[in-house]
């Protein structure tokens, strides 16, 4: 453990630091020089341990009974915790034995063999994305016009929701995750606003549950609406939490990886050229590197249930730990030249952007398929591409990435 300057430690707590990712990455590398775990004491927040060491993140995730997700799985300041007006209960908020029971309900639905049946829809969406680029005639905002809508269309498909509901779902997912970014708000951030967004969600999904109970189909919403836990129907709070996690966890995460991946290719023309040369051979690894590079879920928190030790550092029962997926992906002990975007990186698949262990991202395979499909359709058509302005990233400490990525391009016929 080291004494940190406030500038080093606030990369975890100050949402503005996420507005400059290069600066954030450099700060994270400096922290790696000083150790793999750091005590963060910052005004307004309960103290916590920031874990940035790759192996330590895995070690913690491997012991879900010693390090629980409850009671606070996401970094929230004291004011936010104390003034919370609405309860929300998703897989992320659960621990054993409840978590396993709820996860089993949809686990098979997300397995690779199962999500493969969505591939036709992904190909269709990817063709539509290319058509949008053709129609835009050479300049577009890749983040808002391509990356943001794509994964939301996929969520509509897996939940079996009509295309007409796209705008409402877009607003809801944006509000929930973008809540602490000044540019993405309807109103100033307040617990009431967040509560209102969640209430909107609840109303929408209450109607959906009733519809799927009356008329079951083969979509994920039917599985959730009719799910039994211990032979009893799932309670309302948990049913809503299930929709919320699928809708939100599958959206900004994947779109951030898409836009961040595109930006990385623009910034590294040599990598783009290699990918154009051999899209089939390099795509899977390139996508893995994009996911390492972007780490759209910046962190999750764990709470120690016993006194223990991590990297030789004493951890007391009740201590809060911040698992920094972003910084762990830059651990120089694991990733050679971590600040280089290298689509042929031999161990890119050791990225921890999807977490690890019992909470490992349920949608990981789906997200990979979405990225592979989009870039497989897009890359061979790109003749030239460059930035058409300064991109901006979301100033949020939880899930984020590019909110704008203006590009100028020409396409091959
Ligand atoms: C690049 C895209 C994505 C990233 C980076 C990502 C990342 C994550 C991370 C870090 C976790 C927590 C893992 C842990 O605690 O160990 C998680 C959990 C989860 N993700 Fe994803 N995710 C992505 C896409 C998706 C998609 C497309 C879906 C579904 C449509 C999804 C659904 C979920 C669910 C349901 C959980 C909760 C799992 C649990 O607690 O058991 N994610 N994701």
| pLDDT digits 0-9 by tens, 297-345 | 999 999 999 999 999 999 999 999 999 999 999 999 999 999 999 999 9
Q: What is the predicted pLDDT for the residue at 1?
A: 47
Ligand 1 centroid, distance to 367 Cα (angstroms) = 9
Q: Residues 312, 282: contact at Cβ < 8 Å?
A: no
Binding site membership of 249 for ligand 1 (Cβ less than 6 Å): yes
Give pTM, 2 decimals: 0.95
**Cβ 325 under 6 angstroms from ligand 1:** yes
For residue 211, the CA-to-ligand 1 centroid distance in Å is 27
**Nearest residue by C-alpha to atom 27 in ligand 1:** 250
Position 182 scores a pLDDT of 62
pLDDT tens digits for 260-283?
999 999 999 999 999 999 999 999
Ligand 1 atom 11: residue of nearest CA: 361
Are the beta carbons of 71 and 344 closer than 8 angstroms? no
- Residue 315 pairs in a beta bridge with 308
* Pair of tokens at residue 71: 């009671």
pLDDT, residue 186, reads 44
The contacts of residue 159 (CB under 8 Å, 6+ apart) are 208, 219, 220, 221, 243, 246, 247
**Regions of the chain with pLDDT less than 50:** 1-2, 179, 186-188
Ligand 1 close to Cβ of residue 367 (< 6 A): yes
pLDDT score recorded for residue 185: 53
Q: Return d(Cα 298, Cα 177) in angstroms, integer.
A: 12
Q: Taking the domain 6-411, which CATH number applies?
A: 1.10.630.10
């Amino acid at each position: 453990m080291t004494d940190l300057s406030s500038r080093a430690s606030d990369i975890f707590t100050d949402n503005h630091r996420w507005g400059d990712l290069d600066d954030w990455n450099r700060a994270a590398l400096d922290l790696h020089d000083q150790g793999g775990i750091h005590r963060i004491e910052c005004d307004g927040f309960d103290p916590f341990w920031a874990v940035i060491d790759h192996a330590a993140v895995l070690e913690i995730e491997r012991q879900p009974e010693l390090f629980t997700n409850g009671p606070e799985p996401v970094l929230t300041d004291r004011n936010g915790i104390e003034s919370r007006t609405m309860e929300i209960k998703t897989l992320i908020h659960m621990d054993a034995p409840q978590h396993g029971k709820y996860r089993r309900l949809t686990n098979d639905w997300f397995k690779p063999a199962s999500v493969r049946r969505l591939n036709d829809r992904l190909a269709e969406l990817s063709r539509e994305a290319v058509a949008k680029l053709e129609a835009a005639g050479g300049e577009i905002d890749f983040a808002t016009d391509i990356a943001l809508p794509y994964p939301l269309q996929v969520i509509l498909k897996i939940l079996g929701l009509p295309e007409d509901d796209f705008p409402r779902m877009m607003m809801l997912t944006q509000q929930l995750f973008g809540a602490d970014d000044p540019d993405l708000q309807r109103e100033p951030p307040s617990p009431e606003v967040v509560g209102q967004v969640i209430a909107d969600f609840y109303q929408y999904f209450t109607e959906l549950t009733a519809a799927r109970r009356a008329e079951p189909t083969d979509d994920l919403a039917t599985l959730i609406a009719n799910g039994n836990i211990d032979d009893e129907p799932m309670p309302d709070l948990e049913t809503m939490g299930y929709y919320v996690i699928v809708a939100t966890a599958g959206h900004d995460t994947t779109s951030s990886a898409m836009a961040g991946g595109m930006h990385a290719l623009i910034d590294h023309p040599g990598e783009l050229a290699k990918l154009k040369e051999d899209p089939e051979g390099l795509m899977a690894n390139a996508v893995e590197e994009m996911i390492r590079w972007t780490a759209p879920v910046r962190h999750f928190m764990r709470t120690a249930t016993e006194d223990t030790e991590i990297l030789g550092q004493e951890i007391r029962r009740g201590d809060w730990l911040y698992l920094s997926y972003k910084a762990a992906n830059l651990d120089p002990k694991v990733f050679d030249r971590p600040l280089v975007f290298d689509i042929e990186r031999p161990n890119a698949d050791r990225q921890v952007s999807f977490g690890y262990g019992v909470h490992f991202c349920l949608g990981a395979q789906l997200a990979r398929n979405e990225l592979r499909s989009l870039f497989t359709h897009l890359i061979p058509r790109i003749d030239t591409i460059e930035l058409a302005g300064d991109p901006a990233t979301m100033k949020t400490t939880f899930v984020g990435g590019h909110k704008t990525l203006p590009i100028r391009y020409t396409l091959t016929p």
